[in-house]
Each structure stands twice: as structure tokens, then as C-alpha cells.
């Protein structure tokens, strides 16, 4: 099913430009040029994500965001706020009323499209069935609630990023992920992280949990592709 994106901006040229680039990426796009029309479209068309300008004629963007969050039928729809103001104050207010991300004008269209993809990925992940809170495999025990990891009863102290990496791979055993895919899922929007950073963290993680780093039990290298957690 093609994700439907609603662009809400009273500057028609901007809305058209963003819509054109999203349609090239395969998305279905709706447009609204004021807050009242935006609310009507969200309620009738149920978009997968809303790109919402802060400054709108009639109902302002912040109020649109508040109303969508108060309505049970629309409260889970991700919202990216557009603002021409660069002050931290405005960004904080946008996030506090329920925006999932914000982009400051003027912005690069490629950056906005990348943000949209990232927010949609996070939204899709949040709708997946909950995983068990304890993961165990060949002496490795991961408590996903308390963030504790043990190997054969020995406590292992991992950095937050190492834990996120281990959690991600262990929840998808047997599935191979490229470095870029792992960056997307573990590092998210930290765009300045190099793909080789994955290799460094895998080495550090193996040093902590593997008995033999050259013949790993848990995190396996798939040559020329990436990494996977061993199949059960």
C-alpha cells in the first residue's frame, strides 16, 4: 500500500515542490493551504504522515497539531512541523504539542524527504507487535526492559549504542542487514555517521559478548553484505 502524505503549507510553490519530489519517490500526496482544510483531509483521508507549516491562515499549525493529537482517530499520525523561525523556543513548543520532528525553512527538499522516510520507519516500527522483554540464546540473556546483558551469567556493560545494536540484531535473527540499513535502524537521523562506524561497534560488541571473536556465536558477518544475528 502506497503511503499517503499530506502537505500543509500556504505557500503553493513550496507545497507543489515537496509534492513533486514525494511523488517521484512513489508516495501519494495530498495538499492543503490552510488549517481548516488540513483537518478535514486528515479526518477523511487518514494520511500516513502530515508535513505541517507552523504559520497558516485561519487555524495555525500549532493548533492543528493539538487538535490532531486530541482526536483518538488521528492522534497516532506522525507530524513533521515546518517553521520559518529558527528560535529554539518555537521548536520546543512544536515538539511539546505533539510534532514528531521539525524542519526549519528554508530547507533542502532532499533533507525533508529523508526526514519523512525516517519518521515513517519509526512509526512503522512502533506499530509492530511488542517483542518479549527477555531474549535468551546460547547463554546470552538480554533484558530489554532493564537494559541488562549477561553471557553465561556474567554481567556485560555495554554502551547505549552497543545495546541498541545488539537489541536490533537479536530481534531479527537470521536476517542479514547491510551497514546502511543498520545505520538507519540504530543511529537513525545522525546523518554524519559513516557506514564503517557499524564495523567498529560490531567489533566492540563482539569483544564483550563473544567467546571467540574470530568465530562468533551471536553476531555473524555475511561477507560482502553486512551482519546478522545467528539463527535460532
Measure Cα distances from 127 to 76, 112, 120, 130, 146 in Å: 10, 23, 11, 8, 22
Top-confidence residue, 128 or 152: 152
- Among left, alpha and beta (phi > 0; psi -120 to 50; other), residue 174 is left
| All structural domains of the chain with their residue ranges | 4-126, 134-229
Instruction: Pick the closest to residue 78 from 125, 32, 34 (CA basis).
Output: 125
The pLDDT assigned to 125 comes to: 56
Grid cell, residue 194, equals: 559513516
Q: What is the mean pLDDT of residues 138-159?
A: 92
Report the percentage of the chain scoring pLDDT > 70.
89
CA distance 94 to 191: 22
The pLDDT assigned to 169 comes to: 94
Angle at 120 between CA 69 and CA 112, to 5 degrees: 95
Which residues touch 81 (CB under 8 Å, ≥6 apart)?
A: 52, 53, 54, 61, 65, 94, 99, 101, 102, 103
Dihedral (CA of 131, 79, 82, 51) sign? positive
Fold of 4-126: Rossmann fold (3.40.50)
H-type alpha helices, the chain: 12-24, 35-45, 61-70, 88-96, 109-126, 160-170, 179-182, 196-209
CA distance 165 to 20: 35
CA-based radius of gyration for the chain: 21
- Answer whether 53's CB lies under 8 Å from 13's CB: no
CA distance 138 to 14: 54
Helices (H) and strands (E) in the chain, counts: 8, 11
The CATH number of the structural domain formed by 134-229 is 1.10.10.10
Q: pLDDT tens across 67-126, in order?
A: 998 888 898 899 999 987 665 656 677 677 788 888 888 889 999 999 999 888 877 755
Report the percentage of the chain scoring pLDDT > 90.
56
Residue 150: which pLDDT band, with cuts at 50, 70 and 90?
A: very high
Q: pLDDT tens across 10-60, in order?
A: 999 999 999 999 999 999 999 999 999 999 999 999 999 999 998 899 999
Highest mean pLDDT among 137-141, 158-162, 178-182, 192-196: 137-141
First vs last C-alpha separation in the chain = 31
The H-or-E segment that residue 229 falls in is: strand 226-229
Residue 195: which pLDDT band, with cuts at 50, 70 and 90?
A: confident
Amino acid at each position: 500500500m502506497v503511503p499517503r502524505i499530506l502537505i500543509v503549507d500556504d505557500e503553493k510553490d513550496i507545497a507543489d515542490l515537496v509534492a513533486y519530489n514525494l511523488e517521484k519517490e512513489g508516495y501519494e500526496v495530498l495538499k492543503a493551504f490552510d488549517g481548516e482544510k488540513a483537518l478535514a483531509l486528515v479526518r477523511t483521508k487518514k494520511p500516513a504522515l502530515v508535513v505541517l507549516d507552523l504559520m497558516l491562515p485561519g487555524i495555525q499549525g500549532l493548533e492543528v497539531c493539538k487538535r490532531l493529537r486530541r482526536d483518538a482517530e488521528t492522534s497516532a499520525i506522525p507530524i513533521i512541523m515546518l517553521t520559518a523561525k529558527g528560535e529554539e523556543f518555537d521548536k520546543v513548543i512544536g515538539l511539546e504539542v505533539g510534532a514528531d520532528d521539525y524542519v526549519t525553512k528554508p530547507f533542502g527538499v532532499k533533507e525533508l524527504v529523508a526526514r519523512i522516510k525516517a519518521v515513517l520507519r519509526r512509526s512503522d516500527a512502533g506499530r509492530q507487535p511488542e517483542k518479549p522483554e527477555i531474549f535468551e540464546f546460547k547463554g546470552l540473556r538480554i533484558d530489554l526492559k532493564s537494559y541488562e546483558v549477561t553471557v553465561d551469567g556474567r554481567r556485560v556493560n555495554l554502551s547505549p549504542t552497543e545495546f541498541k545494536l545488539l537489541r536490533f540484531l537479536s530481534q531479527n535473527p537470521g536476517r542479514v542487514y547491510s551497514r546502511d540499513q543498520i545505520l538507519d535502524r540504530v543511529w537513525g537521523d545522525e546523518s554524519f555517521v559513516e557506514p564503517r562506524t557499524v564495523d567498529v561497534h560490531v567489533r566492540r560488541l563482539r569483544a564483550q559478548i563473544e567467546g571467540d571473536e574470530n568465530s562468533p556465536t551471536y553476531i555473524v558477518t555475511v561477507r560482502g553484505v553486512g551482519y546478522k544475528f545467528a539463527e535460532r
